[in-house]
């Protein structure tokens, strides 16, 4: 039972990542391969605020999300002028830069050794340290992120970012400041990734730089592609499927080393097959 609770908690965290990335990719058409970087920013910011300043998890998570969102806005503003392949290349480069900073800024991040002993959440004397309360907490965050995302895409703001995706030049002609909308979506999506990072750091109680590598961004991208572009529910489906794949490989009898390599192979195959035969994903509403 505890194993199923663990998988459910991981699903909640990766579903938040998938939903938030789908806001950026599915509704603005910007292919981002740097979401793990903001996942890491949120995780490290929360971990440092809790371990060095002694802040409560909830305050640290909010600040971590704000930090991630502000950096996301800055990067979104910088990269918004790029298009197509150049945006993808820039996003990959940014993920490498963030991981490099986390490794080399040892006085702050403890370098490759990571940050151990991250406290569990608590509120009013109640601890979310055990598995079931933490699962409930992560599901609450997931519901909040899902609800905010649904509200965003159904609002007038959402209609504008869809218009930007379909024809940015036409949106400009109608008087919309398209750069503002791109930057705003980037900030919202990366702040949500920061929330996922806060949950991950507190759940695992240890983080280190390579956890947030480009391969992790590829996994999050695979979640979006599998579930479907421009469909928030699809990201939940993608997270469910791709969180379970590694566990299925373990039960198939592969050793730990082989299972890890097979996991990367499966993610790669998912990306290739879906982009070739179903670019919009399983239940997607948009195709590139």
Q: Give residue limits of the domains in the chain.
A: 2-211
State both tokens at 68: 């991630």
CA 16, distance to chain mean position in Å, is 6
Nearest alpha-carbon partner for 202 in 83, 122, 285, 274: 122
Q: What are phi and psi of 126, to 5 degrees?
A: -95, 130
State both tokens at 17: 């990542």
Burial letters 250-271, b for 16+ CB under 10 A, else e: eeeeeeeeebeebbeebbeebb
Whole-number Å distance between alpha carbons of 195 and 38 = 10
SS (H, E, C) the chain: CHHHHHHHHHHHHHHHHHHHHHHHHHHHCCCCCCHHHHHHHHHHHHHHHHHCCCCCHHHHHHHHHHHHHHHHHHHHHHHCCCCCHHHHHHHHHHHHHHHHHHHHCHHHHCHHHCECCCCCCEECCEECCCHHHHHHHHHHHHHHHHHHHHHHHHCHHHHHHHHHHHCHHHHHHCCCCHHHHHHHHHHHHHHHHHHHHHHHHHHHCCECHHHHCHHHHHHHHHHHHHHCCCCHHHHHHHHHHHHHHHHHHHHCCCCHHHHHHHHHHHHHHHHHHHHHHCCCCCCCCCCC
CA 49, distance to chain mean position in Å, is 20
pLDDT in tens, the chain (288 residues): 788 899 999 999 999 999 999 999 988 888 899 999 999 999 999 999 999 999 999 999 999 999 999 999 999 998 877 767 788 899 999 999 999 999 999 999 999 999 999 999 998 878 898 889 999 999 999 999 999 999 999 999 989 998 888 888 888 888 888 889 999 999 999 999 999 999 999 999 999 999 999 989 998 998 998 898 888 999 999 999 888 777 666 666 666 566 666 777 777 787 788 778 887 788 877 666
Whole-number Å distance between alpha carbons of 18 and 236 = 7
Q: What angle do CA 193, 199, 201 make, to 5 degrees?
A: 100
Q: Whole-structure pTM over 0.85, yes or no?
A: yes
pLDDT computed for residue 136 by the predictor: 95
Whole-number Å distance between alpha carbons of 191 and 172 = 26
pLDDT computed for residue 53 by the predictor: 94
């Amino acid at each position: 039972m505890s194993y199923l609770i663990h998988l459910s908690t991981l699903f909640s965290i990766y579903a938040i990542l998938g939903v938030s990335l789908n806001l950026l990719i599915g509704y603005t058409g910007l292919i981002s391969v740097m979401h793990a970087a903001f996942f890491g920013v949120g995780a490290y910011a929360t971990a440092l605020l809790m371990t060095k300043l002694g802040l409560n998890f909830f305050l640290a998570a909010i600040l971590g999300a704000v930090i991630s969102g502000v950096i996301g806005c800055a990067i979104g503003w910088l990269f918004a002028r790029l298009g197509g392949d150049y945006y993808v290349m820039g996003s990959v480069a940014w993920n490498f830069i963030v991981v490099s900073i986390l490794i080399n800024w040892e006085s702050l991040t403890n370098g490759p050794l990571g940050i151990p002993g991250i406290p569990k959440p608590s509120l009013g004397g109640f601890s979310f340290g055990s598995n079931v309360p933490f699962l409930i907490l992560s599901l609450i965050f997931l519901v909040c992120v899902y609800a905010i995302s649904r509200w965003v895409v159904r609002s007038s703001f959402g209609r504008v970012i869809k218009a930007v995706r379909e024809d940015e030049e036409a949106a400009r002609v109608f008087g919309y400041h398209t750069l503002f909308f791109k930057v705003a979506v980037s900030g919202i999506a990366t702040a949500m990734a920061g929330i996922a990072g806060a949950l991950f750091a507190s759940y695992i109680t240890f983080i280190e730089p390579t956890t947030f590598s480009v391969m992790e961004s590829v996994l999050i991208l695979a979640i979006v592609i599998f579930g479907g572009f421009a469909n928030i529910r699809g990201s939940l489906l993608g997270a469910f499927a791709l969180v379970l794949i590694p566990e299925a490989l373990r039960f198939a009898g592969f050793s730990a080393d082989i299972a890890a390599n097979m996991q990367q192979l499966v993610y790669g195959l998912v990306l290739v097959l879906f982009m070739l035969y179903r670019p919009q994903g399983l239940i997607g509403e948009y195709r590139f």
